Amino acid sequence: MKKLLAIALALVMVFALAAPMASAEGKTVINVMSFTDEVPKMIARYVELHPEFAEKYEIETTIVATTDNGYQNALDAALANDEVPDIYCAEAAFVLKYAQGDACAYAAAYEDLGIDVAAETEAAAIAPYTIEIGTRPSDGKLVGLGYQATGGAFIYRRSIAADVFGSDDPAVVAEAIGAGTQSWDKFFEAAAALKEKGYAIVSGDGDIWHAIENSSDSGWIVDGKLTIDPKREAFLDLSKELKDNGYHNDTQDWTEAWYADMAGIGEKPVFGFYGPAWLINYVMAGNSGGSAPGEGTYGDWAVCPSNVGFFWGGTWVLAGKNVPGTDKAEAVADIIRWITLDASEDGLQYGWANGTWSGEQGTKDTVASGVVMDKSNGELDFLGGQNMFEAFVPANEYANGSNLTQYDEGINNYWRDAVRQYTAGELSREDAIAAFMQNVADNFDVEVDF
Amino acid sequence: MTLEKRNGNVLVKTLIYIVCIFLAVLSLFPFVVMAINATRSTYQIQQHAVSLIPSTHLMDNFKVYTGKSFDPMRGFLNSLIVAIGATALTVYFSTLTAYALVAYRWKLREPFFAFILAVMMIPGIVTSIGMYQFMYRIHLTNNLLSLILPAIYAPGAVFFFRQFMLASLPLELLDSARIDGSKEFYTFNHIAMPIMKPAMATQGIFTFVYTWNNLFMPSILLTKDNMKTMPIMVAMLKGDIYKREHGAIYLGLTLTVLPLFIVYFSLSKYIIAGVALGGVKG
Amino acid sequence: MDNTLQKKRTFSYAKYGYLFSLPFFLAFLIFNLYPTLYTILLGFTDSKGLGNITFHILKDDPWKNFRSILKAPTFALSIRNTFTLWMMNFIPQITLAMLLTAWFTSRRNQIRGQGFFKVVFYMPNIITAASVAVLFNSLFGYPKGPVNDLLVSMGLRSEAFYFMNFAKPTRWIVAFIQFWMWYGYTMIILVSGVLGINPEIFEAAEIDGASDRQIFFRITLPNLRTILTYTLVTSLIGGLSMYDIPKMLNNGNPNNSTLTSTMFIFNQAFAGSYMYAKGAAASMILFLIIAFFSGIIFFLMRDRK
């Protein structure tokens, strides 16, 4: 027994020491860091398509999951220790930190890589909000761009629209919810009309939160001070109104009950969801209770413009500050250009928009380049054959990146909890706001005026 | 024994069995859910997270699990290396340190024990800042040794063994071994350790389970694909914030827990019966 | 003469005490001294902000971080929560563990299948806290979830109850999970402690005609003293640094009712503003609290002989 253990231990040590190190064989190594294998797979595809590139460069990929802040911890440690990856990714929830906030100094400006930013973004008609978010305020230079565009629209059930509003035409529903009015008045009129026939307008208050959050005029922090934008404060009242009147099923996003409402098997049938194109592909289609028209709610959906403009999610690609001036600057620029700026049919975005980028028939999505959007087809069976790009492309114009801050993820958590406490009657309106402000004061390096 | 007393006994025993069976069901329930969810599709799980009816998506989930950029076999091997290495070092060296605290009188013994208790009480969460800065500086990232070698230092385990030795290691036995001419190190390995076997097995299980499931430090220290452990791979399945592969995650969790079962059940005989005080009687 | 000989002998053995604890100490010096000192130092600096390795020691006002932590109402709340949650899970946990230990080690009343039970009761501890939290979150889901479905279909409630939106139920769920994950662990330690007691003591007691109850309270418990000290102290340390379950079950919500002190520290140091210095100061305060209460346990459990 003891000998066995000793042998096992010795083997363990040998294995541990003999950690295989990939030899680069004279190739230049490009380090990539990401939180999923989405971007690494794109880069692998790029290398596959460009054999001459593969001869000169070797891609070293590091993927760390976002679980428990793991990705940010690992990336931050690498940045702080001057092991800045050559290419790294950031999700909408934390991109501000890397593009505009505490860690923005570690990113290289796209122009320093040799990218003609003004000309190329214009040529591809890149959605302005993605540029806005990827621009570093300290020097006004672009440091990150995405490939998706995540402008949001209202995704509704055709059968319910026909029942309540007399037609399932997107134009009719757009009118009913007050599309483009930047207000919630018509929305609540529609909610009342839907309730009369036994429908809920949305699944839970989380559904309107993303729209409200991104349509506000200022973010949570202005000049280092906590600011509660009136539109965000109104979420308290809107949320209360929804709950008190029974206009929703009182679900929380990303829980069973929320998914059930997509399949139409919740307490009351739910009319619609606010979201970008990925919500359809990643979440709603699979949860519709079917995979072909006629099954579950599949095929019974359509998209119309939202009453307030917003975007939700997206991944930005950044280059490390040490890249410019080295022999890999051009290669890194080529990869970034192919992913974020190439509007041709050989670029990533065309394949991404049409669901063909990895060869097989994948899901369609909206992308950052307006040029690509114009020549792509967004027809989906899930939407009864509607071309979803009709609604999503204009939505990108309303999206705006100026009301985001790098602490949003944490602050939103406190705010949504305070609102839930208020709507549940556990806290008064004042107490809910006070509890929220106390949380921000105690947990962030932010000034709070009580 | 009177009939009344026997009836009372039966009643008590029945009660004990009812409680135990109830607790056993509670204990096994999550494993059943996990295994069943491994056969269900992501969307089925989103609609009903808890179900007792297996589905048919095991192969699909397996494809997702193996279709990522990591190699599950490699992950299993890495986990095994780290867990075996760390467990062996923790158990052996903690027993040795505890032995030093119990079997010998030395000037710094009490201060040293107080020191062990103190370092045990430092909340680990904040020392992790210094920890990974340090590992970066000595270039032990992406090396499994960075997770194995620090296991020599396990204050909690030392405390555990010390308390057990105080209770069940007869010091007279060591004295008689000395009289027989046994060298100190030999006495520890061949007389003290066998007595501590149940405690070592118990601590061994705890350490193995902890190391096997540990995610925080490994996910910071091991970033290269060929270095990742099984829990990191499972975490990577939920990496995408908006598209989680629930079916594959549960499959990953089930596959991660299987080796733990094997280790646990093979060591559990010590928990069940114990070979306590084998040294005394022999 | 006799005396000097003995002295000489103990002296010569003392070096083994140092020698055998050397590996432990070396590993500490190599891997943990730096992080520990670094943390202590950080508490007295203005360190904040990601990747900001340069920081200054607060020479004028070294206790600034400590004061600001002690003044923060959220920190005080987190300490209170942590104690409440710990008491709520530890009292039932140790009670059940003791009861099971008494049942399983009773020499008269052999419980059949006790090997199976002992093994199975530890199993909740094998699953990662994250999976457990996810499981319970969906069990108590609202407005749809197995528990709510059951309550409504059995007619116990007319409509679904939003467990995670109310402080008390959420706390009880957290406490229950902690209890359920750890009672088996505690039981295993206690059982192996009992197995380590010299069987001759029990045999003697049986011959003297002691009852099961007498044996447990007069023989088992006193002999378990050192093991019980271990259990109490480690549960205290573990309980006061509770993190995973409340974090992943409901992120400290509702209204911070399940925010624990370690979560507070994590929020200071890692989430959002990266206030390392404040996080370090808060963890030192937490350390002092843990050390104080551990000291009390050691004092109460000391060998009175």
Residues B55 and B127 in one domain: no
Count of positions (residues) in chain C = 305
pLDDT band at B131 (very low <50, low <70, confident <90, very high): confident
Measured CA to CA, the distance from residue B216 to residue B233 in angstroms comes to 13
Residues of C in contact with A267 (CB under 8 A): 143
Residues B54, B251 contacting (CB under 8 angstroms): no
Domain end point (choices B59, B76, B96): B59
> What's the pLDDT tens digit per position in B100-125?
999 998 999 999 999 999 888 887 77
Residues A359, A59 contacting (CB under 8 angstroms): no
Measured CA to CA, the distance from residue B167 to residue C29 in angstroms comes to 30
pLDDT score for B174: 87
Domain end point (choices B17, B33, B59): B59
This complex has an ipTM of 0.86
Residues A77 and A167 in one domain: no
Measured CA to CA, the distance from residue B83 to residue B256 in angstroms comes to 12
Residues A99, A107 contacting (CB under 8 angstroms): yes
**A–C: how many Cβ contacts below 8 A?**
98
Q: A136 CB contacts (<8 Å, ≥6 apart)?
A: A99, A100, A104, A107, A109, A142, A143
> What's the pLDDT tens digit per position in B183-214?
889 999 998 998 888 889 889 999 999 999 88
pLDDT score for B238: 65
pLDDT band at A418 (very low <50, low <70, confident <90, very high): very high
CB contact under 8 A, A439 and C74: yes
A185-189, A265-269, B226-230: range with highest mean pLDDT:
A185-189
pLDDT score for A207: 93
Q: Residues C15, C17, C20, C26: is their CA dihedral positive or negative? A: negative
pLDDT score for C196: 76
Residues A155, A309 contacting (CB under 8 angstroms): no
Q: Summarize the confidence of residues B233-243 as an average pLDDT.
A: 68
Residues B250 and B126 in one domain: yes
Mean pLDDT in order along chain C per 10 residues (305 residues): 46 83 93 86 82 76 91 94 95 95 82 86 89 86 85 86 92 95 92 82 86 86 89 91 88 90 87 83 92 92 75
Mean pLDDT, chain A, rounded, equals: 89
Residues A47 and A80 in one domain: yes
In a domain, A14, yes or no: no
Q: Tokens 């209202």, residue?
A: A154
Each residue of C199-232: b (16+ CB within 10 Å) or e? eeebeebeeeebebeebbeebbeebbbbbbbbbb
Beta bridge partners of A62: A33, B224
**B–C: how many Cβ contacts below 8 A?**
263
Among B48, B226, B237, the residue with its CB nearest the CB of A256 is B48
Domain end point (choices A359, A374, A389): A374
Phi, psi of B141 (to 5 degrees): -70, 155
Alpha helix stretches (DSSP H) within chain C: 2-27, 33-42, 64-71, 73-105, 114-122, 129-139, 146-153, 167-195, 199-207, 212-214, 221-223, 225-240, 244-250, 261-269, 276-300
Single-letter code of the amino acid located at A232: R
Q: Summarize the confidence of residues A247-253 as an average pLDDT.
A: 92
Quick check: helix, strand or coil at residue A296?
Answer: coil
CB contact under 8 A, B219 and A74: yes
> What's the pLDDT tens digit per position in A282-322?
889 888 888 888 889 999 999 999 999 898 889 999 999 99
Question: What is the DSSP annotation of A77-132?
Answer: HHHHTT---SEEEEETTTHHHHHTSTTGGGBPPGGGGT--HHHHHHHHTB-HHHHH
Residues A335 and A351 in one domain: yes
Residue B139 Rama label (left phi>0; alpha psi -120 to 50; beta) = left
Interface contact C106, partner B, CB < 8 A: no
Q: A110 CB contacts (<8 Å, ≥6 apart)?
A: A117, A141, A142, A143, A145, A319, A333, A336
CB contact under 8 A, A252 and C53: no
CB contact under 8 A, C27 and B119: no
CA distances C279 to B15, B128, C73, C244, Å, are 49, 12, 15, 18
Residues A161 and A212 in one domain: yes
Quick one: DSSP state of residue B149?
A: G
Residues of A in contact with C251 (CB under 8 A): 413
Q: Which of A152, A241, A234, A259 is nearest to A195 (CA)?
A: A241
Residues A165 and A267 in one domain: yes
- CATH number, position B206: 1.10.3720.10
Quick check: helix, strand or coil at residue A28?
Answer: strand
Domain end point (choices B59, B77, B99): B59
Q: Summarize the confidence of residues A158-162 as an average pLDDT.
A: 96
Q: B114 CB contacts (<8 Å, ≥6 apart)?
A: none
Residues A258 and A403 in one domain: yes
Residues A163 and A143 in one domain: no
Q: Which of C131, C144, C264 to mutate to test the interface with A (most CBs of A within 10 A)?
A: C144
> What's the pLDDT tens digit per position in A325-380?
998 999 999 999 999 999 999 899 999 998 887 655 567 889 999 999 988 988 99
Measured CA to CA, the distance from residue B235 to residue A70 in angstroms comes to 10
Domain end point (choices A330, A345, A374): A374
Residues of B in contact with A93 (CB under 8 A): 241
Residues A306 and A439 in one domain: yes
Domain end point (choices A324, A345, A374): A374
Each residue of B86-125: b (16+ CB within 10 Å) or e? bbbbbbbbbbbbbbbbbbbebeebeebbeebbebbbbbeb
Residues A97 and A38 in one domain: yes
Measured CA to CA, the distance from residue B109 to residue B113 in angstroms comes to 6
pLDDT band at A16 (very low <50, low <70, confident <90, very high): low
Quick one: DSSP state of residue B206?
A: H
Residues A179 and A73 in one domain: no
Instruction: Specify the range with the lowest mean pLDDT, choosing from A50-64, A230-244, C161-175.
Output: A50-64
Closest approach of chain C CAs to the CA of A66, in angstroms? 13
pLDDT score for B241: 55
CA distances A226 to A63, A280, A382, A408, A441, Å, are 34, 34, 42, 11, 9
The CATH number fitting domain C64-300, selected from 1.10.3720.10, 3.40.50.300, 1.20.140.10, 3.30.70.590: 1.10.3720.10
Residues B169 and B132 in one domain: yes
Residues A178 and A279 in one domain: yes
Domain count, chain A: 2
Q: Tokens 């929703």, residue?
A: A248
Interface contact C138, partner B, CB < 8 A: yes
Residues B170 and B242 in one domain: yes
Residues B8 and B86 in one domain: no
pLDDT score for B148: 93
- CATH number, position A199: 3.40.190.10
Residues B144 and B98 in one domain: yes
pLDDT score for A22: 46
Measured CA to CA, the distance from residue C296 to residue B143 in angstroms comes to 42
pLDDT score for A11: 62
Domain range holding A370?
Answer: 28-149+313-374
In a domain, A9, yes or no: no
pLDDT band at B65 (very low <50, low <70, confident <90, very high): confident
User: Is this prediction's pTM over 0.80?
Assistant: yes
Closest approach of chain B CAs to the CA of C152, in angstroms? 17
* Chain-centroid distance, C-alpha A76: 21
Q: Which of A63, A273, A287 to mutate to test the interface with B (most CBs of B within 10 A)?
A: A63
More confident residue, B264 or B272: B264
Burial of A290 (0-12, 13-18, 19+ CB in 10 A): middle
Domain count, chain B: 2
Residues B95 and B128 in one domain: yes
Residues A303 and A318 in one domain: no
